[in-house]
Each structure stands twice: as structure tokens, then as C-alpha cells.
């Protein structure tokens, strides 16, 4: 095991997670040392293992991948993050890189390309799947320009995003408070702020918006 790159896999679909674990552990230079099925569990596992790389799905229960990226980069800035996702649109790609991701690989990629992406990121290079426009990454890396104007979504904080995701998944205020280790009153305040910023006024409207933004699966 000595000398191998340590990896934590974060993926909510167990079959895919176990398949990735089995495949990666056949590589001489890679060692999967942890796995997680949701964002909150991911943070715990990553803190425990301090891996070289996190292979991270962006759409997960309880805490979305973008929030996980931001938190990992705060607590373990040297840990590399490779997003592995079905999302191919520019908004998700830019948001992932702006949040601190080191690479972006789509799930329709071959296993060979995934290995290429993992090794590129571990070597300190950025990577983006060949299926997604290279111009997106080039524009980000070369100019660091803000591609999109600030929108209502851009005003939502990381904590509000977490609350919105849990609301969209059907959790009540007390359950959300327990998950996030905050008081129910604080959850109510976050919900009120979200509704005001997004001009949405019912739980069903928040759920629809969370689905639209990819925080919650349909």
C-alpha cells in the first residue's frame, strides 16, 4: 500500500460506488481508503482519511457536491477533487471549478478516461472530459473571468443551498436543524431568506427550484 495515492469515493448509488472501488483498487498506484453515500458522510470520511484525491458526485442527498467541494478545500486545501457527474452544461462545470474542483469528468466517460483524469489531477493538472467543451475550461483558467452575471441563484449562500436541498428532499425544519446542527429558528430564518431572494413562497416552489438547479433528483 505504501506509495499509493489514497482516494475517497463519494457517490450515492451503491452499485456504481462499489464498481468504482473494485476497478480503482486493481490499479497499482491507487488505493481507495474510504467511501460515502451522501455529502455529510463525505465530509466525515474525508476528515478521517485525509486522502490525496476525492472522486465526487455533484448530485447527492443531504449536502450537494458543490458545498462539499468548498468545505473540503477549506479544511484540506491540498486534497485534489475530481467531480464525476452526469451534468454536462456550462453552469455546473464553471461552478465546480470556481468552488475549487481540480477536474471534471462525466459519467459517460470510459474507465480509461477516468483513470487519465485521476492521474492528471493527482499530478497537479486540471482536467475536463473530452465530451465537454474545452473552451469552458480554457476560458476559466486563462482569464478567471466571471462568465455569468449575478442572478438570484448567485445570491444564495452555501448554508442556504444546504437548507434548500434538504427542503427539496422533503425534510421538515426540525430534521434539517438536526442534520445541520443548527436551531429550528435558524432554519426558519434561512428558509425565509431563500424565499425572499428567489421570490418563491411555497415549499413546492422551493422543491421545483431545487430540482431545476440539480440539487435534488427528479
CA–CA distance, 38 with 40 (Å, rounded to integer): 6
Q: What are the pLDDT tens digits along the chain (218 aa)?
A: 457 999 999 998 999 999 999 999 899 899 999 999 998 999 999 999 999 999 999 888 888 888 899 999 999 999 999 999 888 777 788 888 889 999 999 988 888 999 999 999 999 998 888 777 565 656 555 544 444 434 677 788 888 999 999 998 889 999 999 989 999 999 999 999 999 888 888 888 888 888 888 888 76
CB count within 10 Å of CB 197 equals 15
| Alpha helix positions (H), the chain | 14-24, 39-49, 65-75, 90-99, 111-122, 134-143, 158-168, 173-180, 184-198, 203-212
Burial tier of 189 (Cβ tally within 10 Å: 0-12, 13-18, 19+): middle
Cα–Cα–Cα angle for 86, 82, 24, rounded to 5 degrees: 90
Give the chain's domains with CATH numbers: 5-143 (3.40.50.2300), 153-212 (1.10.10.10)
Q: What pLDDT sits at residue 104? A: 92
Instruction: Give 69-83 pLDDT, tens digit per residue.
Output: 999 999 999 999 999
Q: What is the pTM of this model?
A: 0.67
Collect contacts of 126-130 with beta carbons under 8 A, ≥24 apart.
Answer: 126/97, 126/102, 127/82, 127/102, 127/103, 128/93, 128/103, 128/104, 129/104, 129/105
- What is the enclosing helix (H) or strand (E) of 9? strand 5-10
Cα–Cα–Cα angle for 43, 21, 218, rounded to 5 degrees: 65
Nearest of 110, 146, 118 to residue 56 by alpha carbon = 118
Question: Residues of 50-67 as b/e, b for ≥16 C-beta within 10 angstroms?
Answer: ebbbbbbbbbbbbbbbbb
Kind of pairing between the strands at 53-56 and 30-36: unpaired
In the block, residue with C-alpha cell 457536491: 65
Q: What pLDDT sits at residue 212? A: 82
Q: What pLDDT sits at residue 62? A: 82
CB count within 10 Å of CB 151 equals 9
Q: What pLDDT sits at residue 52? A: 97
**Backbone Cα Rg of the chain:** 17
Cα–Cα–Cα angle for 12, 198, 194, rounded to 5 degrees: 65
**Torsion of the alpha carbons at 119, 124, 126 and 130, rounded to the nearest 10:** -20
Q: What pLDDT sits at residue 30? A: 94
Q: What pLDDT sits at residue 68? A: 92
Amino acid at each position: 500500500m505504501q506509495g499509493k495515492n489514497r482516494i475517497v469515493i463519494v457517490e450515492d448509488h451503491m452499485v456504481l460506488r462499489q464498481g468504482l472501488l473494485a476497478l480503482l483498487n486493481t490499479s497499482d498506484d491507487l488505493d481507495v481508503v474510504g467511501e460515502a453515500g451522501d455529502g455529510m458522510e463525505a465530509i466525515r470520511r474525508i476528515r478521517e482519511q485525509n486522502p490525496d484525491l476525492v472522486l465526487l458526485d455533484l448530485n447527492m442527498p443531504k449536502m450537494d457536491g458543490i458545498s462539499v467541494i468548498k468545505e473540503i478545500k477549506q479544511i484540506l486545501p491540498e486534497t485534489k477533487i475530481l467531480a464525476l457527474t452526469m451534468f454536462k452544461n456550462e453552469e455546473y462545470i464553471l461552478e465546480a471549478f470556481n468552488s475549487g474542483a481540480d477536474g471534471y469528468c462525466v459519467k459517460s466517460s470510459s474507465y480509461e478516461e477516468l483513470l487519465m483524469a485521476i492521474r492528471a489531477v493527482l499530478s497537479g493538472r486540471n482536467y475536463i472530459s473530452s465530451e465537454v467543451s474545452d473552451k469552458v475550461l480554457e476560458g476559466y483558467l486563462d482569464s478567471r473571468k466571471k462568465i455569468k452575471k449575478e442572478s438570484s441563484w448567485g445570491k444564495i449562500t452555501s448554508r442556504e443551498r444546504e437548507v434548500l436541498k434538504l427542503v427539496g428532499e422533503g425534510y421538515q425544519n426540525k430534521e434539517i436543524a438536526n442534520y445541520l446542527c443548527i436551531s429550528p429558528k435558524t432554519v426558519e430564518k434561512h428558509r425565509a431568506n431563500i424565499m425572499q431572494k428567489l421570490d418563491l413562497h411555497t415549499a413546492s416552489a422551493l422543491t421545483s427550484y431545487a430540482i431545476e438547479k440539480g440539487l435534488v433528483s427528479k
